[in-house]
Chain A
Amino acid sequence: MTRLWAVFAREYAGFFRVPLGWVLMALFLFLSGLVFTRSALVPGEPATMREFFSAWWGLLIVIAPAVSMRLFSEELRSGTIEGLMTAPLPEVTIVAGKFLAAAAFLITALAPTLVYPIILEWLARPDHGPVAAGYLGVLLVGMLYLAVGTWISALTSSQTLAFLATLFLLLLTELAAARLAAMVPEPWNHALLALSASARITDFARGLIDTGHIAYFLAATIWFLALAALTLKARRWR
């Protein structure tokens, strides 16, 4: 546990010791504020954050790869990975520590957005359920995107490449779900549709907590983290 904490604490604090962390946080809050004022504060409309949460996967798809790109690529580039991988830390601990730090950073960036439902509360009477469900959905999509980014970052020593490859993979999955599914015959299109994180986040924003969605996100997150740990292990045998 101390070892997991060691990796986690170093990585989490690291986000705030480099300009990138602050820039990402500022960008995230600026964009989410923009989305909130345009989608939730509409006179005469019901007080919901449905549109707000639905718009979020578009934010996450850019922010998450920028958060995760550093996790391993920076260590591979600077050579610090050697010190990390010769410490008595199992690959799983390294991956889990780094991923949890990235997730904690995302939660830290999300925390100030709680001011939006408070504003809504002050102006009108929003339904609390969908707001809570919306946050859960954003969190689950965020975890999955960070897990994909963690894996890709373990593959390359270039942060830029890690960012672009993660963004590309996430976008491709969404596009496959949105566009390709319409062209594919019956049983197969469901498989493609199931890949869409944006569709699932919309369900959460409507206040629908589907255990299927939760299971999907958790399983996919663990799968990509396992891939990252295997990638790391494979480096020893190269």
Chain B
Amino acid sequence: MIEIAHVSKWYGAVHAVKGVSVRIEPGRVTALLGPNGAGKTTLIRMITGYLAPTEGQITVCGHDTVEQSGPARASIGYLPESAPLYPEMSVEGYLTFRARAFGVPAAKRRPAIDGVIQRCWLTEMRRRRIGALSKGYRQRVGLAAAILHDPPVLVLDEPTSGLDPTQIRSMRELIRSLAAGRTLLLSSHILPEVELTCDRVLIVAGGRLRADGAPGELVGSAQARAAYVIGLSAPAANAQAVLNSVPGVERVEPDGNRWRVWPRHGTGDLREPLARAAAAAGWVVIELTREKATLEQVFMNVIHSEQPADSANARVHDQAVPA
């Protein structure tokens, strides 16, 4: 469990994180999304105790990250962005160092190291020098080090960066298996990946929490605003006006020899009314579909919308229409 209450971070005069409050529960995979410079990494660094919040409080498993930093840090497994490691050490040597640093008892060290080496597919690499490993392998060493002490909270900053498609697949399964009974927070840039792996999505932009919900929920709310695409056999000059007069239509824009029709908020399926209007005007409809909203669209809507959501339970509602 991670609880973030009214947290702000200033770097000198730069206000990087602006009053974020959110509670991240165990047993689910929560994704933290946001453009570069949104305050994502700052937020992660405050959770893991690398940075102290300027205002507000963060508790991890009930331990304040500043006042009780020792127990707070001991309960987190952290994979920093791009997994910085000591290149001169061997995989096994590094894991031994981490196990000691996290106070894994001597008797449990060997089984713990063997376990994570197996779990992160590092068996052939255990005696290799870290500096000689490929980026994908280094990423796995970083992950192995993060889960070594069996922490109740896992924070993974871009766990799939540098991995090939097969490895991303295995990583997805590994992350899902790690989420059982744990609080798992990850950040990622690969949105389709997030849609598949995560139970909850937090979108941060401009230092604020701008959206919070299950991926399906967020995509669903964006779907309500998704455009219809209608293609007519003989493009007529007044088609735009005719389509615009259909009840529930907010806006019509030509798109090549097709039209994109945006519904007003809260209207039902417009496909039938649109088809009827075209037929009434004597045109043949050769194409009529509704665009599928994706997490990527949700993300773009959120980061481009101007009005900031001020509560922790921000939902994506009145977002700007996709440009």
- Which residues of chain A have a CB within 8 Å of any CB of chain B? 2-3, 5-7, 9-10, 13-14, 17-18, 78-80, 82-90, 236-238
Contacts and interface: CB of A to CB of B under 8 A. Distances in A.
B50 A236 contact: yes
A80 B101 contact: no
Nearest to A18: B88
A93 to B, nearest CB: 9
Contact of A78 (B51, B69, B70, B84): B84
Interface stretch (B75-83, B197-205, B222-230): B75-83
Contacts of B73: 86-88
Interface string B58-75: 000000000001110110
Interface residues of B, number: 31
B103 A88 contact: yes
A39 B247 CA distance: 103
Contacts of A83: 78, 80, 84-85, 98, 145
Contacts, number: 75
Given A3-B101, A17-B88, A87-B98, A237 B52 contact: yes
Contact of B70 (A80, A85, A88): A88
A6 B93 CA distance: 11
A5 B100 contact: yes
Interface of B: 11, 45, 48-52, 69-71, 73-74, 76, 78, 80, 82, 84-89, 93, 97-98, 100-103, 106, 145
A83 B71 CA distance: 16
A86 B101 contact: no
Q: What are the 8 tightest A-B residue pairs by CB atom distance, in nearest-first order?
A: A6-B100, A79-B84, A17-B88, A88-B74, A87-B101, A88-B73, A86-B48, A6-B101
A236 B45 CA distance: 9
Contact of B50 (A9, A17, A18, A86): A86
Contacts of B88: 14, 17-18
A80 B98 contact: no
Q: Which of A82, A89, A237 has the most CB of B within 10 A?
A: A82
B101 A89 contact: yes
Contacts of B74: 88
A3 B106 CA distance: 12
A82 B103 contact: no
Given A10-B86, A10-B89, A85 B50 contact: yes
A56 to B, nearest CB: 30
A96 to B, nearest CB: 14
B101 A7 contact: yes
A13 B97 CA distance: 11
A3 B52 contact: no
A238 B11 contact: yes
B10 to A, nearest CB: 10
A82 B84 contact: yes
A16 B260 CA distance: 67
A17 B130 CA distance: 12
